[in-house]
Amino acid sequence: MNSFRLKKIIATAILASVITASGGTFSGRDLTSVHAAEIAGSVTVTAGSLWTYGRADWNAKTQVVNRGDSFTLSEKIVVDGREMYGLTNGLYITANPAYIKADEVAVTSSYKTTTENLNMRSGNSTLYGIILTIPKGSQVEVLSSLNGWDQVSYNGKTGWSSAKYLTASSAPAPTPAPEETPAPVSSVTFKNTTYNLNMRTGSSTDHSVLLTIPQGGRVEVLATQNGWDQVLYNGQIGWSSAKYLTAASSQVTGEDIVSYAKQFLGVKYTWGGNSPEEGFDCSGIIKYVYAHYGITTPRVSRYQATFGEAVSMNALRPGDLIYFGRDTVTHIGIYVGGNDMLHAPEPGKFVEIKDLTWHVNNYRIVGARRYIK
């Protein structure tokens, strides 16, 4: 992996400690994590001398650095309306170009495949609890690496797995949009399980079990073969016996997406959050809501903004995704109708509905996508 790979665990630990200490805000300061600004590269001090900070707080001055000193970048955040770089040594420094010269490199996600059934844990050692077990041969998105462990995203969950049992693989190809048909409803087919149902690697009981779909689970049917359906469930693709699947009462609509998402109004914002229990960030709630209907999305907002079908702002429908940014996509929300959107805004706040004039840090609407025909 690139040696300048973002060590997100450092940023997460720092943010968590500061939020806890101040009851959800940074002593009254507004901290906005720039989601898409996962960066690598370096920064060099050009001022005669310059303060660094022990946490994301302009009052947390720690030590002075001098002209010519260079550091490795890990992230960019905004505190009190001013940009600040996070460094891989755990310190922070101003991003003001009057005092520093930064060479930013955009960090892209990497993907790996498990070589064995592999535990995902809540921290980077075997001392931490198991979140879930990832089946052998499954692809995961690697978010960061630390001391022989990879922080990975799989099936809507984020945790740590031993890098010893992960091997590099190529990024998954975007799911192609279904061909246009004259039918007025979505061409996607959904079914519900009538019993707890095994998903297998192939279309017979000779193939190994990937996971068990609970009774009543909703799956997207991708193909049919010899009495078996190839299904998508919770981000995983496999085969299940069609005998235990029944047609869903209706196809998923944008209104379904909005109705389900509204259940999470008031859930706290948590950077990197993937569930109502731990909280959501802007892309986490998108992935969670769509996964409920068997629709897979990337985990990061800038990749979510590349899937599906581009739509114009004057043709928005409920359930469409609206994304914001400056040079890159940094925020995303679900259009609910009436010129409003539902989103997880920023640390210290909660999932809410806002009109489309919402903006922070001079972000602007840069487009919209539709995942449901």
CA count, 13 A, side-chain hemisphere, 251: 12
User: To the nearest whole number, what is the mean pLDDT of the chain?
Assistant: 78
CATH class of the region 189-247? mainly beta
Q: Where does the chain hold its CATH 2.30.30.170 domain(s)?
A: 8-106
Residue 302 CA from chain centroid, whole number: 9
Supply the CATH classification number for the domain 110-169.
2.30.30.40
**For residue 265, pLDDT beyond 90:** yes
Return the exposure string of 328-338: e unless at least 16 CB atoms fall within 10 Å of the residue's CB, then b: bbbbbbbbbee
- In contact, 55 and 110? CB cutoff 8 Å: no
Q: Could you tell me the pLDDT band of residue 234, with boundaries at 50, 70 and 90?
A: low
- In contact, 361 and 242? CB cutoff 8 Å: no
pLDDT digits (tens, 9 = 90+) for 36-94: 345 667 889 998 889 998 887 888 888 899 999 888 777 777 777 788 887 777 788 99
Q: Could you tell me the pLDDT band of residue 184, with boundaries at 50, 70 and 90?
A: very low
- What are residue 169's DSSP bridge partners? 111
- Residue 291 has phi, psi (to 5 degrees) of -65, -30
Give dist(CA 366, CA 310) in Å, integer: 11
**For residue 20, pLDDT beyond 60:** no
Q: In the predicted model, what is the mean pLDDT of residues 95-117?
A: 80
Q: Where does the chain hold its CATH 3.90.1720.10 domain(s)?
A: 264-370
Give dist(CA 326, CA 316) in Å, integer: 21
How is domain 264-370 classified at the CATH fold level? endopeptidase fold (from Nostoc punctiforme) (3.90.1720)
**For residue 289, pLDDT beyond 80:** yes
Residue appearing with tokens 């279309």: 203
Question: Which of 115, 126, 113 is CA-nearest to residue 152?
Answer: 113
- In the chain, which ranges are continuous DSSP H helix? 8-21, 254-261, 282-292, 301-304
Give dist(CA 41, CA 87) in Å, integer: 10
Please name the amino acid found at residue 54: G
Strand-by-strand arrangement of the 352-355 sheet: 309-310, 364-370, 321-325, 329-337, 340-343, 352-355
- Options 3.40.50.150, 2.60.120.1360, 2.30.30.170, 2.40.160.10; CATH of 8-106: 2.30.30.170
pLDDT digits (tens, 9 = 90+) for 144-172: 777 778 878 888 788 889 988 988 876 56
Quick one: pLDDT at residue 247? 79
pLDDT digits (tens, 9 = 90+) for 204-221: 999 999 999 888 777 878
Q: In the predicted model, what is the mean pLDDT of residues 347-366?
A: 83
Which of 69-73, 108-112, 176-180 is the most confident on average?
69-73
- Residue 301 has phi, psi (to 5 degrees) of -60, -40
**For residue 222, pLDDT beyond 60:** yes
Q: Could you tell me the pLDDT band of residue 6, with boundaries at 50, 70 and 90?
A: very low
Q: Where does the chain hold its CATH 2.30.30.40 domain(s)?
A: 110-169, 189-247
**For residue 351, pLDDT beyond 90:** yes
CA count, 13 A, side-chain hemisphere, 372: 26
- What are residue 101's DSSP bridge partners? 44
**For residue 177, pLDDT beyond 90:** no
pLDDT digits (tens, 9 = 90+) for 314-342: 999 999 999 988 778 889 999 999 999 99
Residue appearing with tokens 């095994």: 198
CA dihedral 80, 82, 87, 93 (to 10 degrees): -100
Q: In the predicted model, what is the mean pLDDT of residues 113-117?
A: 91
Which percentage of the chain shows pLDDT scores above 70?
79
CB neighbours of residue 176 within 10 Å: 6
